[in-house]
Structure 1
Amino acid sequence: MQQAQRRHMRGPLRPQQLKPVRARVSGAGLARLFQAGDAAVLFAASFAVAQLASLPRVMWLGAPTLALVLLVATGAYAMSARERTRRRFGRLLIATSAASGGAGTLAGLFNPAFPALGCAAWAAAAALAICASHLAWGVTLRRLRRAGHLTPNLIIVGGTPAAQRLIRRALKTRDVNILGVFDDRRERVGPEICGVPVLGKTADLIDHRILPYVDRIVVTVPPKANARIAQLLERLAPIPNPISLLLDDTDDETEAEAVGRIADFDLLQLTGPRQRSGYLVAKRIMDLTLSILALVALAPLMAAVALAIRLDSPGPIFFRQRRHGYMNEEIVVWKFRSMRTEATDQKAARQVTAGDDRVTRVGRFIRKTSLDELPQIFNIITGEMSIVGPRPHAIGMLSGGAEASKLVETYAHRHRIKPGLTGWAAVNGSRGPVDTPEDVRRRVQLDLEYVERQSFWLDVSIILRTAPCLLGDTGAVR
């Protein structure tokens, strides 16, 4: 009875195991990976045929290049769960045939004696290779979707007819997970919409524990309700998750197209950063490479710090604190303990001040040199943090007697990217405790500036500037 009730509360479109957005797979990045795989098999097939049939270079290099262009142009990497297998493989055969014909025609212009048999051999080999490749990644996609790594998790704001149609379509296709609905008219909407639970009013969404698992918030409103749209966006302003608008259009065809594209996020995006998968992959590779190298190089230093802490004061070597990570996810951040054990402040209710009696002798040194932050290398390796990003703050951290997250409306927008070991704010003078509301606002302003400007080379610049800033920042209290 209790299990049935729990399933009812979860709804029919909620996966058995929710995975945070941080741990999910980027569809755009996966598509690029599949493109690279297709390029490899096409050029390998071309090389093999060239060895047997003596294909000219324009054929065995030009044909696979043209095939890849045609595959991208015809949407072969949209990865839609709605596409029929027959149509998908028909597209592959057409692309390889057209590429073979185009490259063969070009080869014939350079060499009129070029045999048509070479074109046919290339087309057959390429079609076989590309179909095998897409069969393999089709299996991969199905496994990722079943495991919850790829299927997008949505929250709907507004129990409109468009929301009902979206839910019914999702129940049929299973190409999106709809975790719940929020509506200010909960009394009229009822406890559920098409089986999906109504989790509360719009205001309840601001601090809801489900946000770290939500890829996108979809606002469904009538198309002419401009005042209602503005009101909802104002209420949802503190939320870091991307927000899209799905109009409850009276034109059935237009609405059907919008609802049909929802799984691909082809909507009017109102808020949230535009994700660049290439940059995210490069950033993750840099994070792993530098953090593993740093762990190896700094292992003796970290061991020495651990020994000094053990000899200096009783208590554990490490200090663990729950902080906000990507999309407000609660993560456990590791540090070397710098305070007396009995004075541990898990919620940062009191900011550290100069000559703070809670800080140990070793703690003063490792805080001044930022050596206390080195264990966060493990957070970077596990993917909870990055080398560069906004510094993670303790949950419920107070500044000037007020909760820091309540002092700035857009405070949570700094969580639109992973927190970092260093960041734009740190190299621009906002380092250490934030004692006043003005300090909080400046920290948030710098963090949001980085969120808007983030790039691979900006990250490299921040990393290079970090050490000189630490050495020259003798006045900072930590």
Structure 2
Amino acid sequence: MLGIHGLLARLVDVILIVAGALLASHIRFEDFEQTQVDGAFITLSVALALVSFPVAGLYKSWRGRSLLRLTGLVSLAWLLVQAGGLVLMFSVHRTDVISRLWFVYWTAISAAGFIGARLMLHTVLRSVRYAGMNLRNVAVVGGGVHCKELVGKLQASPASGFRASALFDVSAGEVFAPNVIPVFEDLEKFAEHVRKNGIREIWLALPLSEAQTMLRFVNEFRDDLVNIRFIPDVRSLALFDADVVDLIGAPAISLVASPLSARAMVQKEIFDRLFAALVLLALAPLLLIIAIAVKCSSRGPVFFTQCRKGADGQVFRIYKFRTMRAHVEKAGVVTQAAKGDPRITRVGALLRGTSLDELPQFLNVLRGEMSVVGPRPHAIEHDEIYKKLVDGYIHRYRIKPGITGWAQVNGFRGETDRLEKMQKRVEHDLYYLQNWSFRLDMRIVIATMLKGLVSSNAY
């Protein structure tokens, strides 16, 4: 059964659809007397919206949730309604009487109306909630840092519509809740307080290991109209920020998996290919000059190739300009270049000091084996050593390795003759994975161009 708020929301949306169609017709045909609309199409869109919008969850409470996501959901739902209406009108041979410009105007105006109405409502509710009204009381169950942070977020965001009004402390540690929030350690007294004060939200801020504690609270409030939500503390288990994904229709929390979403991976992939292609085209004359210089500096091939690990441990051949005289390494041993290394040629020293020897790796990027920005790949022989010595080392390969990275622009490049140097490099790589954004990639690219090409650590 629909509440008054649901009915009003539907009525407003119907008005916005009809008003948008009429305004679009007036704009399209300019002269008011020539204004014309297709009543059947408008009626069909209203009917489809009244069916589709509830399915999309547009009439559910959006308390504490992302407005950006709501805006996207509204736009998508309305576009699907209009697309469905067009298909049905086409099936009854009525599309010939529909003005395409009018349809575009109508779709845009009504979409703006839907979004504007919801943002206006949110602004009003925000003001009301800051005044201490329209708040939903929450009882938090938990202890430790995770619970403290959750209570802090509730207090810092009254506009979300939630207010911490009770705390059940499951830890034996110091009680951290402010004085205004009653703290309980006895379940019976806690349950009495929740029922007496009409609290309708209980949030379990607990680690996954507290299954028995969760069960106690679920059983206690089984016959009450209380929403019990589990907000797990998975930081002790999850390497990166835990995310809930849908697997074969079941929710799954990613504890150790790729830290980048599919959308982020697509963004990086598009940028990588375009950037690599532009660099190779723009620097083609320089690449030719370097190739000639390398060939003339000593006997051997122009390019040095070596097997490295890519995303998910896939092995590929990395390309560099050769900077050393041809030599043979012992099987299973890779000797890093050191300061004053006699194997390095004069041309090679210049290339290594300016990182110009890395330019052929844009071929690896174009081939999809590397990224412009990411953790630097190491020799496979070094991988086998350091993954046992440095915590989190192997997770650098959750994404494609990069030509440059957060560690490199912060000075952690070149020889890793001490374990501490590799640990610092890995710390910076993991920071990059945990805090990735397209803006951070651009920052690293710009930093590399401005200061990252020349380094005293590169030899």
**TM-score normalised by L of structure 2:** 0.50
Structure with the larger RCO, 1 or 2 (CA within 8 Å, 6+ apart): 1
- The alignment's TM-score, normalised by the length of structure 1, stands at 0.48
